Structure 1
Amino acid sequence: MTDILLIQPPVRDFYLTSKRTIPYGLTCIASSAQKAGFSVEIFDGLATSKSHKLQIPEEMAYLNEYYGKEDISPFALFNSFKHFGYSFEHIGKQAAKTGAFLVGISSLFTPYAEYALMTAEAVKAYHPGCKIVFGGHHPTTLYNEVMKNTAVDFIIRGEGEESLPLLAAAIKENKSPDSVPGIVYRKQDGNLYADNPALIDDLDKQPLPAISLLKHNFYKRGKMASAVVSASRGCPMKCSYCSIGGLPYQKYRQRSVESVIKELDINISGHKAAFIDFEDENLSLDKKWFTALLCELKSRFAGSELELRAMNGLLPISLDEEMVCLMKESGFKTLNLSLGSSSSEQLKRFKRPDVRKAFDKILLIAEKYNLKTVGYIIAGAPHQTPKDSVSDLLYLAERRVLAGVSIFYPSPGSADFEQCKNLAILPEKYSLMRSSAFPLSHTTGRKQAVTILRLGRILNFMKSLIDSGYEIPEPGPFAEEEIKDGNRTETGIKLLKWFLFDGKIRGVNKEGGVYEHSICDKTAGLFTEKINKAGLKGC
């Protein structure tokens, strides 16, 4: 029998990046519960290759215009809405088998909140005697909404490492949980008791994550075992779209270099992890600390096949040549750089520093040290125009960098979420607050946002042609023909030739039939008008 079961729920979406689904937070909570003397299991509802197609939900029916046809071309977006992971029924049955008296369910992201609730309902159906506690960003911010579901007994707001063992002890001893930091529960009169979010002051006092509880064979990048590490929490910046810096309780804290290295050593030596992603919001912000970490990484793991990444993005103004050189020597092969936008007005709206000069400087340094780069921009935010987003793409076109286009979504707890609420442009359902659903229709409409995302694919294809030694094709009129027996690159070259001529973005089905995607012609025209005049560079 197990005391505590921690569950990462399955999700439903158009795509899933499996290497970014490692339930790191659950391993941190599990280790604290084990230290307190409880037996713990983790069930990752996503740790399976199983998926099956579903009908696009009714509230997303408008997406059929953009995703309704299959596309095997390099310009494809999505086609099928899928359930990724185990079934809710299977998870409920597995929970019952453990006999756990406390089941913790992670609910990190608002658009996936309903799947966490469906998981709770399945667990209660098969294991009615257990108590269920929710944790994660969504219930921390919107606890009133979550507690409307009677399958949820408790919520721990904020950081749960210290709180969950205290809650487990209170349940086991039949005591009131009101002294548990961050706790939310229903009082006898039906009203909610809700504490302020819990915060851990000294991260080094926490035991290292219980990664031995994970299904390591599943988390791979290609053939390499992968892992994630968080060397800090919080963020001192106040970007309008981000809920981390916007939360008053979530102050910025760093772990000691020694603690981070110990955790990395367990992953690398013990579990043969060869790809490590730092999940920090701002890994390189403290130069002295980051330099010390890189020097220790270089010393400890020199000569290994280790690849390091910071996929949440690095702030260009926090980097310099010394740091980039050390990153290269430590195992970084790619720099994920956060640009935000090339528009000074949009940067002001985002409450972000203007990093363009630093961005260009770091791109040159990265090229010197043979590091790949990705530059991230946000499109479709409140008051952001399609013209500015196309300008961002053209800005990236002229630089040796892969274009990372992120479609804006409103995150509860962020300043932009409140702005969207005040503008009455929030989607009607939480499930729509995801990039793949193009959640807003404001100064950038949905069709324009779809077009911008496809233009990003086209731009990166053009960059890949340059890097592979191909010539960018001359614009030419569309020929009524099927595309058969051509490889993906040859197919893309044909489609690109026609696009540069008439601004139509086309797709190709499995039979070789060519068709036009639904796009905003004006937005595509802004791109085709200038892309040939831009000093296009590869990656």
Structure 2
Amino acid sequence: MKVLLISPPTESAVTKVMGTTGPPLGLAYLASMIKNEHDVKIVDAVAEGYAEEDVAKIIRSYDPDLIGLTATTAMMPDAYETAQVAKKINENVKIVIGGPHATFLPERTMQECPQVDFVVRGEGEYTFKELVAALEKERDLKNIKGLSFQRDGKVINNPPRELVENVDEIPMPAYDLLPMKKYRAGKIEFGTIITSRGCPFNCIFCSSSLQFGKKWRGHSVARTLEELSILRNEYSKREIEFLDDTFTFQKSRAITITEEIRREGLDITWTASSRVDTFSQEVACAMKMSGAHTVYFGIESASQRTLDFIGKGITPEKSVLAVKNAKRAGLHALGSFVIGFPEESAEEIETTIKFSKKVGVDLAQFTIATPYPGTRLWLYALKEKILLTMNWRKFTTLDPVMKLKYLTADQITKALRSAYLKFYLRPKMLLLDLIRDRGFVFKKAMHFLANEIVQRLK
């Protein structure tokens, strides 16, 4: 089989700032499952700067039997356009799509884009591999778990697939099929790695625990170090971003990984995410000593009422302590704050904005609560009939898509702009920008992102 995996052309504020996005590791994992038996090509249209016509030329030239698409909710219209172009070129090409959006809305996905033949739901590697084998040998699809497909005008949803217990069984992503030199922030090339899957927590806006399960499953330390070594030694990636939902979920494992990074002498700098309640001074120091420079915390809100509604399971006090532990160890702290929950008041939002300045984070990311398909917030929005739109391009976390109890869409948009202005245009932040860390790429990126959002929301 000739298989073409595509991350379609799209545009976002982050893309404008960084010049690219990170590698589409989901596609690289799929490719790794079949590349020894089939002819596989990956097209990362964003990294390559491709427009739709460029992708069309590749489809004509490569002439695939199967096209695989990946897309976030906001990218779904772009994926649909790519599917439509592909079918115009070759009406017999089969098209499959995966990712959290399609996972939770397979029927709607195929209704909105009849050119999509299959949806791979959930953790997709083995489902995808079985689909390719079935298509090659013209087998029935009914026994492929995790697959949805069209038959006689109806969408058939096969039973869900069990999660992969031992994630070390999944081959490393096919980095060799990606344009690795294209992933850079300014002059700094970076790599990304996922060392664990699944999340046992229950945040109302997060689809990760639904896509990859409630059970946390981590790669072995040996596998993790092997992959890091490949990124550092084969692809010269000195800056690494760990994409785990919670890198510090098992503190002892996180510390062991940092110790092995030092023992191997990998000479990398890196970032990772942590919950504030899975972080400690010991973890912070271990991260710093092995080259980490930034830790990302999901602080979300200063209102305990809002935190309880989210299901975050933390308190503002825990956030303060986690940030202190990070700063004492010499790490930069990036805090994520979410505003615009259905029953959140203007006073609570203002308290969160003030808290972002007091909690001690070096960088702040502000977003609007967005009900992504499959999440508890999505179900809540449907039940309460507060969705303002199903234009997927609006599901960016920068656009209000829910009707709020106390605030209009215009008010929440202005609040987001105000949050960025109040955090980044303080005299303290401007002074620090002049006297320290002038080469710190992520800090600069967040400043530029803040400016982009402020300009967009004027």
TM-score (norm 2): 0.89
Provide closer, same or farther for how the CA distance between residues 395 and 250 of structure 1 changes in structure 2, counting only shifts above 3 A: closer
Deviation at 1:256, TM superposition (A): 0.9
Flag the structure with higher helix content.
Answer: 2
**Which SS does the other structure have where 1:440 is aligned?**
coil
Provide closer, same or farther for how the CA distance between residues 19 and 285 of structure 1 changes in structure 2, counting only shifts above 3 A: farther
Deviation at 1:428, TM superposition (A): 2.3
The amino acid of 1:179's aligned partner reads N
Distance 1:449 1:269 in 2: 46
Of the three residues 93, 97, 101, the one matched with 1:130 is 93
Moved more, 9-18 or 452-461: 9-18
Conserved 8 A contact 1:366-1:372: yes
Provide closer, same or farther for how the CA distance between residues 166 and 185 of structure 1 changes in structure 2, counting only shifts above 3 A: same
1:329 aligns with 2:293: no
Q: Which residue in the other structure is 2:383 paired with?
A: 422
The amino acid of 1:180's aligned partner reads I
Distance 1:315 1:227 in 2: 22
Distance 2:135 2:306 in 1: 50
Q: Which residue in the other structure is 2:41 paired with?
A: 41
Of the three residues 222, 227, 248, the one matched with 1:284 is 248
Q: Deviations over 1:168-207 (max 9, x none)?
A: 12111122122222111122x3222211333322211111
Provide closer, same or farther for how the CA distance between residues 181 and 390 of structure 1 changes in structure 2, counting only shifts above 3 A: same
Deviation at 1:92, TM superposition (A): 2.1
Provide closer, same or farther for how the CA distance between residues 18 and 228 of structure 1 changes in structure 2, counting only shifts above 3 A: farther
Distance 1:272 1:158 in 2: 32
Deviation at 1:13, TM superposition (A): 4.0
Q: Which residue in the other structure is 2:32 paired with?
A: 31
**Which SS does the other structure have where 1:47 is aligned?**
helix
Q: Which residue in the other structure is 2:399 paired with?
A: 437
**Which SS does the other structure have where 2:202 is aligned?**
coil
Provide closer, same or farther for how the CA distance between residues 223 and 204 of structure 1 changes in structure 2, counting only shifts above 3 A: same
Conserved 8 A contact 2:7-2:69: yes
Q: Which residue in the other structure is 2:82 paired with?
A: 119
- Percent of aligned positions with the same letter in both sequences? 25
**Which SS does the other structure have where 2:149 is aligned?**
strand
Of the three residues 251, 271, 285, the one matched with 1:309 is 271
**Which SS does the other structure have where 1:334 is aligned?**
strand
Q: Which residue in the other structure is 2:310 paired with?
A: 350
Distance 1:13 1:20 in 2: 9
**Which SS does the other structure have where 2:143 is aligned?**
coil
Deviation at 1:469, TM superposition (A): 7.5
Q: Deviations over 1:246-284 (max 9, x none)?
A: 569553211111111111111110000121111111111
**Which SS does the other structure have where 2:74 is aligned?**
helix
**Which SS does the other structure have where 2:75 is aligned?**
helix
Deviation at 1:133, TM superposition (A): 0.9
Moved more, 143-152 or 395-404: 395-404
1:154 aligns with 2:118: yes
Q: Deviations over 1:149-176 (max 9, x none)?
A: 2211111111221122221121111221
Distance 1:179 1:133 in 2: 17
Distance 2:396 2:328 in 1: 37
Q: Deviations over 1:99-148 (max 9, x none)?
A: 221111112x1122111111111111123332111111111110001112
Q: Deviations over 1:351-383 (max 9, x none)?
A: 112242332223223332322112211101111
TM-score (norm 1): 0.76
Conserved 8 A contact 1:340-1:347: yes
Distance 1:162 1:317 in 2: 34
Conserved 8 A contact 1:31-1:210: yes
Distance 1:113 1:250 in 2: 25
Conserved 8 A contact 2:148-2:157: yes
Deviation at 1:88, TM superposition (A): 2.0
Q: Which residue in the other structure is 2:259 paired with?
A: 295
The amino acid of 2:432's aligned partner reads D
Of the three residues 432, 437, 440, the one matched with 1:467 is 432
Distance 1:6 1:508 in 2: 34
Question: Structure 2: where are the runs of 5+ without partners?
Answer: 436-446, 448-453
Deviation at 1:285, TM superposition (A): 1.1
Moved more, 176-185 or 235-244: 176-185
**Which SS does the other structure have where 1:217 is aligned?**
helix
The amino acid of 1:339's aligned partner reads I
Of the three residues 364, 372, 375, the one matched with 2:332 is 372
**Which SS does the other structure have where 2:401 is aligned?**
coil
The amino acid of 2:47's aligned partner reads A
Q: Which residue in the other structure is 1:3 paired with?
A: 2
Conserved 8 A contact 2:123-2:211: no
Distance 1:381 1:341 in 2: 10
**Which SS does the other structure have where 1:155 is aligned?**
strand
Q: Which entry has the higher C-alpha Rg, 1 or 2?
A: 1
Moved more, 227-236 or 165-174: 165-174
The amino acid of 1:405's aligned partner reads F
Deviation at 1:309, TM superposition (A): 1.0
**Which SS does the other structure have where 1:357 is aligned?**
helix
Provide closer, same or farther for how the CA distance between residues 234 and 19 of structure 1 changes in structure 2, counting only shifts above 3 A: farther
RMSD value, Cα = 2.3
Q: Which residue in the other structure is 2:444 paired with?
A: none
Of the three residues 369, 379, 404, the one matched with 2:365 is 404
